[in-house]
Amino acid sequence: MARRRVVVALAGAAAVGTAVAATAGAAPIPPKPADPVPLGVRPPASLAEDGAGRAAALAPSRLMVTFVDRPTAPVARRRLGGVGTVAPLLPEAGVWSVAPRERRTARAGALALGGVVGAEWSLRRQPALLQRPATPAAPGPVPPFTDPLFTPERQWGLFQTGLWGPEITGQAARPTIAILDSGVDSSHEEWRGPGSPLVAPRSTIRRNANAGDWGRSGHGTHVAGIAAAPANGVGVVGVAPASGATAAVMPVQIADAAGRSTDETMIRGIRWAVRRGAKVINISAGGPGFSKAFEAVVLWAADRGVLIVSSVGNEGDLENGLNYPAAYQRVLGVGAQCDAEINADCPRRFGVARFSNQNESVDVVAPGVNVISSLPRRVSERVVAPGYGLKDGTSMAAPYAAGVAALAQAGNGGRLSADQLRRHLENTATDLGVRGRDDRAGHGAVNPRAAVTLRAPADDLDEVNDDIKYLDDHHRPARGRPLVLQALIDEHDDSEDVYAVVLRKGERLRAQLTHRRGQIDLYLWQPGTRTVSTDHPGNLVVNAVEFSGGNGRREVITYVAKRTGRHYLNPFARAGQDRYTLRVRVT
């Protein structure tokens, strides 16, 4: 989780009467990185009405407010009543939506309230589809019932040597995949008829069950087909073929006819999908701008075993900036892999496309060039047969990875946490180019067969435990005997761990963190701290004690409790990834 600057320096420890011991020569405590959120961000301009003549209802003037706690509706309305009209967004994670009375002062007014850690405008997002010039195509024959487009020439991503095969798709019932997009065309031959695999449809724009694909480009139907088109003798086959309710697809419409969505429509879609049983959520859209509210939603979903997969964007040969939600920790960010054709976008066969963003958000890459899938029949761009066409972009790569995630979850008995599943796809990816993770290809190209057949890594301790409000319990070391905690931490995917430790007044705590690689800091926070990730005046760490071990591999804190209560030990990955051991002794 991204960090704001912590204002309490080591000298502050002495002010509250604490004793801090460290390895000799420890450097002064560096500030923790600031959240990548622009403080003066302006709401985007109003969106035009969609093709049906309705207001797109994408709410660019709504403010998303995140609390350190999870207030009830009456409490949230009382706290925010002076700012504007309050509505739930994801109350389970302490996130509420406000229609402000005065837009000019609303954000500052919300941030000035006690218990508020974030207030951001609901920013506009765009599909990560690479636009190609339309090329007219002659109508093809009506597909026979033999999945006629399931060929090495058409579905090259499923025919790479040894990576995928029908035998890895039916080992066990896979979990539901939610497609958050422009909707799915339920009248399409891939998706209609008795036993349709489409379940729990929802439009977060219309606020009803009409989740048909109203997008002008058919983006949602195309994305759904890549992930899960049924092996039904029609058209194409998805990576994780849908089959009735046992291998379902959940269409959630979050975008208007032009493909525009916002943080709010995405958040409402995530909430709908999680509460109705989806375990993999695909979002082939994004844009710049970090949001504390969206970060809280990602952690809430991960805590419920749901992996969010998202496209990293198509500006790799231009500005190459971070796009969200792919850039949030715990989200699997997917870049685009080329096919065998060499051209300006693809200088190397099966390499990373030049247009694919190359930055810290890239976790894996997957087929994203000349990808065929289902389309509403009204769409004419790059059609190869009625109802089927080609598209390019990281939008196409993300659902491939989402399908692999669903197959991997099924292959591991459906028991993997979201963190396990994400790390498993990263660990089993085929490295491309530079050895190890890099910003171009992440951990490499997703490998469906390896993800399904190889054992997943062990689950991490106590996850999700990125901040205090996510903690359900606490530790109480036996007096005189050490409590030993072991976990993985990663600056890109999981930079924060928080453990609650109950101390009685006068007890002496000794906490020692050891690790082999990277840089991991260790912090101790006093009772009454509400969040370890902000310096906002309303929630703060005025009683915090902190210590950084610099580049060393051993950090030690000693501390005598001034009062009884829950204290918080907080390892923080400043650089790299490693497993650590935290030994806690109370005397």
What parts of the chain have a pLDDT lower than 50? 1-30, 35-59, 134-146, 536-544, 546
Q: Domain check: are 78 and 181 in the same one?
A: no
Which are the contacts of 483, defined by CB distance < 8 A and separation ≥ 6? 475, 477, 501, 583, 584, 585
Q: Domain check: are 256 and 395 in the same one?
A: yes
Q: Domain check: are 447 and 518 in the same one?
A: no
**Gap between the Cα atoms of 203 and 252, Å rounded:** 6
Choose one of 434, 453, 472: the last residue of a domain: 453
Following DSSP, what letter does each residue of 446-504 receive, concatenated? --HHHHHHSPPPPPPTT-S-SSGGG----B-PPTTS-EEEEEEEETTTB-B--EEEEE-
CATH number at residue 421: 3.40.50.200
Per annotation, catalytic residue among 186, 213, 217, 219: 219
2 lies in some domain: no
DSSP β-ladder status, 554-560 and 483-490: unpaired
**Gap between the Cα atoms of 107 and 536, Å rounded:** 13
Which are the contacts of 25, defined by CB distance < 8 A and separation ≥ 6? none
- Which pLDDT value is given to residue 547? 54
pLDDT one-digit tens code per residue, 271-316: 999 999 999 999 999 999 999 999 999 999 999 999 999 999 999 9
Percent of the chain whose pLDDT exceeds 90:
65
55 lies in some domain: no
Q: Domain check: are 159 and 302 in the same one?
A: yes
Per annotation, catalytic residue among 35, 181, 213, 466: 181
Helix axes 292-303, 263-275, angle to 10 degrees: 10
Choose one of 421, 453, 485: the last residue of a domain: 453
Which residue range forms the structural domain that includes residue 472?
Answer: 11-34+461-586
Evaluate whether 56 touches 44 at the Cβ level (below 8 Å). no
128 lies in some domain: no
Q: ω before 484 within 30° of 0 (cis)? A: no
Evaluate whether 64 touches 100 at the Cβ level (below 8 Å). no
Number of domains in the chain: 3
137 lies in some domain: no
139 lies in some domain: no
Per annotation, catalytic residue among 291, 310, 356, 395: 395
Q: Domain check: are 231 and 365 in the same one?
A: yes
pLDDT one-digit tens code per residue, 523-565: 898 888 888 865 543 334 444 454 555 555 888 888 999 889 9
- Which tokens in the block code for residue 246? 């046992």
219 is known as an active-site residue? yes
Residues in the chain: 587
Collapsing DSSP states into helix, strand and coil, what is residue 203? strand
Q: Domain check: are 205 and 70 in the same one?
A: no
Evaluate whether 126 touches 115 at the Cβ level (below 8 Å). no
53 lies in some domain: no
490 is known as an active-site residue? no
CATH number at residue 555: 2.60.120.380
46 lies in some domain: no
Q: Domain check: are 440 and 492 in the same one?
A: no
Q: Domain check: are 439 and 525 in the same one?
A: no
Q: Domain check: are 379 and 465 in the same one?
A: no
C-alpha pair distances (Å), 108 with each of 86, 105, 122, 245, 539: 16, 6, 15, 47, 15
Q: Domain check: are 174 and 196 in the same one?
A: yes
181 is known as an active-site residue? yes
Query: What's this model's pTM, rounded to 2 decimal places?
Result: 0.85
Choose one of 453, 476, 492: the last residue of a domain: 453
State the virtual CA torsion across 506, 507, 510, 511 in degrees, nearest 10. Answer: -100
* Tokens 């403010």 -> residue: 63
4 lies in some domain: no
DSSP β-ladder status, 84-90 and 124-127: unpaired
- Which pLDDT value is given to residue 15? 31
For the chain, the straight-line distance linking the first and the last C-alpha, in angstroms and rounded, comes to: 32
- Which pLDDT value is given to residue 124? 86
**Gap between the Cα atoms of 16 and 1, Å rounded:** 28
Phi-psi group of 310: left, alpha or beta (phi > 0 → left; psi -120 to 50 → alpha; rest → beta): beta
* Tokens 């218990």 -> residue: 115
Q: Domain check: are 360 and 225 in the same one?
A: yes
Q: Domain check: are 358 and 474 in the same one?
A: no
